[in-house]
Copies of this chain bind each other. A is one copy, B any other.
Amino acid sequence: MSLDSLDPEIAARLKRNPDGLVAAVAQQYDTGEVLMLAWMNDEALHRTLTTGRATYWSRSRGELWVKGDTSGHVQHVKSVALDCDGDAVLVKVDQVGAACHTGDHTCFDAGALAQGVR
């Protein structure tokens, strides 16, 4: 069975932010690397669950964003899980090429932080 929109049972479990979005953590399914944090509305989650391609809501462009449609850096979806309070999903994917628009493998590669003394 393929539904035209997000399964109402799943939709009822979501706790969306005021913009109607849940956070989506993309993780490389085999290495465990956290690739990026993005956002999904109901339609993006529906497409992610039904097309096998990770799909987000681009807050900057205000449109659905099928990851890799312009860059070729597709994310093939392996699994999706909702967290305990319904406001975040963990999307395990197989990332083609770089996840980050900067060309880095992950969006966190360049951002190591350090401060003070532990």
Contact residue range for chain A? Answer: 35 or more
B interface footprint on A82-118 (CB within 8 Å = 1, 0 otherwise):
1111011110000000001110100111111111111
B interface footprint on A9-46 (CB within 8 Å = 1, 0 otherwise):
01001000000000101010001111011000000011
| Cross-chain contact A52 with B118 (CB below 8 angstroms) | yes
Complex A-B: 22 CB contacts under 8 Å? A3-B115, A3-B116, A6-B115, A10-B113, A10-B115, A23-B37, A27-B32, A32-B32, A34-B34, A36-B83, A37-B87, A45-B113, A49-B115, A50-B116, A51-B118, A80-B113, A81-B109, A81-B111, A84-B100, A84-B107, A89-B111, A89-B113
